[in-house]
Structure 1
Amino acid sequence: MEKLIREVRILKIYAVVLTVLCAMFFFLAFKNQSSNERFKEIDVERINIVEKDGTLKMVISNKERQHPGLVNHKEMNPREREAGLIFFNSMGDECGGLVYDGNEKESGMAYSVDQRNTDQIMQLQYSESAGKDKKRVYGLKLWDRPDDFPMEYLIKAADSIKKLNNPEASRKAFAQLKEKRRLGSERFFAGKTANGDVGIFIRDTNGKVRLKLYIDKNNQTHIENIDENGNLVK
Structure 2
Amino acid sequence: MEKLIREVRILKIYAVSLTVVFILFFFFGFKNQKTTQRFEEIDVERINIIEKDGTLKMVISNKSRQHPGMFNKKELKPREREAGMIFFNELGDECGGLVYGADKDGSGMVYSVDQRNTDQIMQLQYMEGTGNKKNRTYGLKLWDRPDDFPLEDIIKFEDSLKKLNDPVASKKAYAKLRSEGKITQERFFAGKTADGDVGLFIKDTKGNVRLKIYVDKNNQTHMDKLDENGKIIQ
Question: How far off is 1:116 after superposition?
Answer: 0.6
Q: Which residue of 2 aligns with 1:3?
A: 4
Q: Which residue of 2 aligns with 1:86?
A: 86
| Alignment partner of 1:138 is 2:133 | no
Question: How far off is 1:124 after superposition?
Answer: 0.3
What is the number of equivalent residue pairs in this alignment? 233
CA distance in 2, matches of 1:187, 1:114: 15
CA distance in 2, matches of 1:131, 1:22: 69
Q: SS of the residue aligned with 2:152?
A: helix
Q: SS of the residue aligned with 2:136?
A: strand
Structure 1 window deviating more from structure 2 (138-147 vs 57-66): it is 57-66
CA distance in 2, matches of 1:68, 1:35: 30
Question: How far off is 1:145 after superposition?
Answer: 0.8
- Structure 1 runs (4+) deviating above 6 angstroms are none
Question: How far off is 1:125 after superposition?
Answer: 0.4
Alignment-mate amino acid for residue 152 of structure 2? E
Structure 1 window deviating more from structure 2 (63-72 vs 50-59): it is 50-59
Deviations 1:157-211 (A, max 9, x none): 1111111111222122123223322121000000000111110000000001111
Structure 1 window deviating more from structure 2 (4-13 vs 168-177): it is 4-13
Q: Which residue of 2 aligns with 1:31?
A: 32
Q: Which residue of 2 aligns with 1:105?
A: 105
Identity %: 61
Output aligned runs, 1:216-227, within 5 Å. 216-227=216-227
CA distance in 2, matches of 1:105, 1:151: 29
CA distance in 2, matches of 1:91, 1:19: 46
Structure 1 window deviating more from structure 2 (89-98 vs 9-18): it is 9-18
CA distance in 1, matches of 2:54, 2:141: 34
Alignment-mate amino acid for residue 21 of structure 1? F
Alignment-mate amino acid for residue 36 of structure 2? N
Unaligned runs of 5+ in 1: none
CA distance in 2, matches of 1:175, 1:126: 29
Alignment-mate amino acid for residue 224 of structure 2? E
Q: Which residue of 2 aligns with 1:185?
A: 185
Q: Which residue of 2 aligns with 1:41?
A: 41
Alignment-mate amino acid for residue 108 of structure 2? G
Contact 1:154–1:183, Cα closer than 8 Å, also in 2: no
Question: Cα 1:164–1:142, aligned 2, differ >3 Å: closer, same or farther?
Answer: same
CA distance in 1, matches of 2:184, 2:170: 18
The Cα RMSD (Å) is 1.8
Alignment-mate amino acid for residue 193 of structure 1? T
Q: Which residue of 1 aligns with 2:196?
A: 196
Question: Cα 1:131–1:169, aligned 2, differ >3 Å: closer, same or farther?
Answer: same
Structure 1 window deviating more from structure 2 (163-172 vs 109-118): it is 163-172
Q: Which residue of 1 aligns with 2:169?
A: 169
Q: SS of the residue aligned with 1:122?
A: strand
CA distance in 1, matches of 2:79, 2:66: 9
Q: Which residue of 2 aligns with 1:127?
A: 127
